[in-house]
Amino acid sequence: MESAESLVAWLSRDLGIALQTFRGLSDSQVAFAVALGQMREQTQTPTRSLAKVPCPFISRYPQQLCGIWSLTPEGRAAQQFLDSSAVMHVNKMWGLMLFTWLGAGGTQGRAFQQLMAVPEMSNYRCDDRQPLEVINYAKLCVEHLGGHTRQFFGSDGRDKSQRLGKSAEGMLAAWHEAVPALTKAFGEGTSSFMAALGRLPKAGPLAQKEICSYLGVSTHFSYMAEEIPFGSGAEKGARLFLQLEDNFLDGAKALRKKLEDCMLQHFPGLKGKSDLGYLSVVDIEIFCCYGCSYLCKFIQKLRDRLKQPFCKVPYYEALELAEGFTTPTGWVLHVNGRPALEIELPAFSCASESKKPRLSSSLFSLGEDWRRLEQGLGQTQKQKHACFKAVKELGRCTEQEILQKLQLYVDREELDKPEQPLSKVWGHYRPKLLQEGFLVVTEP
């Protein structure tokens, strides 16, 4: 209970908030409700009604510590995408899988925006090359950013550095394959969808929680908020603040209305202001995690530095004591009300043009005698044989399609990853295959 007691002391002793008792809630549960109200008031309204001084950590991270999931950058981006139409179809389900894999759409949502602007990426195709194209785009941008995957992927996930590994690539491919089944299950109702989500390959409780949290902010699919699984961080926070030991979702549902009423008892100015006066189950899950994993750790470190209550120290002097803490992964530090650092991601089209050679629009197909010639193309010439095999499987095709097929062979480990780019491998063997009669080229 150390973190819960620290939160109670921080709100009452250091911020000067008079915590009121509320029937049916413990001190730590009241503190949790008041903390959410303080976040909402400090970030979304121009007044300060209870606290003697603003919370420095809410000021430093107003986007994440706003107290309402739908107003975080991730929540806003998910709502905008999901509310583009009232119907769940395969394109939207595929977009939801992409949004989740990118980590709430990637840093500042840029990666997701770029993908959605390209019809070949946003429109779902029953083609296992589609997720590989997305992965190639991601690799290109990470390379452009000097190999810093954490600058590309969004959210606070700690697995960012692993998302372009073999297992993570398999995750996106498995999710892509499951899109039609997920869409069908979604149309059959919540229980059917949750069962299908539970069977989704390479999607653990955290991924399932993220998918439900994104659906929960939609005006069309908000009922999914009632089904959100609790992640490990939220479970820990629920034990500390809400005093729940198991059945966390059911426990949060049972406490939701009391926590909301307690929040409004302390912050009556939030009533009637859009969604500020409503506390959802998603809000409880998200801020159980944030409160336990981040806010209380900040509070404990700062209180160790203070010789007296925060509100009794000259404010700017107190703020200096609150500096120097490591910013959580995926959070945006604000200084004087503005982001301290904005990361610019390259547009996918610009990045791809700068890294890939210009490809001709010519079409390639097999030569007349390819069956006889194939017998002399030994399997020892693996790269040359792969170039021939790509055209054989594709039929009449472009250079871009050939390179995509070669990449597919590499991703499937049917072809060893070459030391040089695949475009150079194809460029080396193309004239040889044409000269020897394996392939022919025609104008489009």
Give tens-digit pLDDT for 154-194.
776 555 556 676 666 688 889 999 999 999 999 998 889 99
- DSSP-derived pairing of the beta strands 397-398 and 334-335: unpaired
Residue 437's pLDDT is 84
Residue 93's pLDDT is 94
Query: Which pLDDT tens digit goes with each residue over 111-135?
Result: 888 888 878 788 898 888 888 888 8
Tell me, what DSSP letter sits at residue 417? P
Residue 399's pLDDT is 87
At what angle are helices 296-305 and 2-9 packed, to 10 degrees? 60
Query: Which pLDDT tens digit goes with each residue over 46-61?
Result: 777 778 888 888 888 8
Q: Which of 256-265, 299-308, 342-351, 361-370 has the highest mean pLDDT?
A: 256-265
Residue 57, token pair as written in the block = 């950590």
Give the model's confidence band at 355: pLDDT under 50 very low, under 70 low, under 90 confident, else very high.
Answer: very low
Residue 184's pLDDT is 93
Residue 354's pLDDT is 40
Determine how many CB atoms are found less than 10 A away from the CB of residue 167.
10
Range name among 28-37, 91-100, 137-146 with the lowest pLDDT average: 137-146
Residue 131's pLDDT is 87
For the chain, percent of residues with pLDDT exceeding 70: 90
Residue 359's pLDDT is 62
Residue 435's pLDDT is 81
With contact defined as beta carbons under 8 Å apart, do 433 and 377 qualify? no
Distance in Å from the first CA to the final CA of the chain? 71
Range name among 11-15, 91-95, 112-116, 376-380 with the lowest pLDDT average: 376-380
Domain ranges of the chain: 2-70+231-323, 84-217, 357-442
Give the model's confidence band at 356: pLDDT under 50 very low, under 70 low, under 90 confident, else very high.
Answer: very low
* 375 three-class SS: coil
The residues pairing with 439 across neighbouring beta strands, listed in sequence order, are 366
Q: From edge to edge, which strands make up the β-sheet containing 397-398?
A: 397-398, 363-366, 439-442
Over residues 83-92, the mean pLDDT reads 89
372 burial type by CB count under 10 A (0-12 exposed, 13-18 middle, 19+ buried): exposed
Residue 357 has pLDDT above 80, yes or no: no
Residue 36's pLDDT is 93
Query: Which pLDDT tens digit goes with each residue over 398-432?
Result: 888 898 889 888 888 888 888 778 888 888 888 88
Residue 166's pLDDT is 64
Q: How many CA atoms lie within 13 A of 62 on its CB side?
A: 15
Residue 429, token pair as written in the block = 């063997």
With contact defined as beta carbons under 8 Å apart, do 266 and 25 qualify? no
Residue 231's pLDDT is 81
Residue 270 has pLDDT above 80, yes or no: yes
With contact defined as beta carbons under 8 Å apart, do 98 and 115 qualify? yes
Query: Which pLDDT tens digit goes with each residue over 144-161?
Result: 777 777 777 777 655 555
Query: Which pLDDT tens digit goes with each residue over 228-253?
Result: 888 888 888 899 899 998 889 899 99
Mean pLDDT, the chain, integer? 83
Give the model's confidence band at 441: pLDDT under 50 very low, under 70 low, under 90 confident, else very high.
Answer: confident
Query: Which pLDDT tens digit goes with each residue over 326-344?
Result: 887 777 788 777 776 665 6
Q: In angstroms, how far apart are the furthest CA atoms of the chain?
A: 89
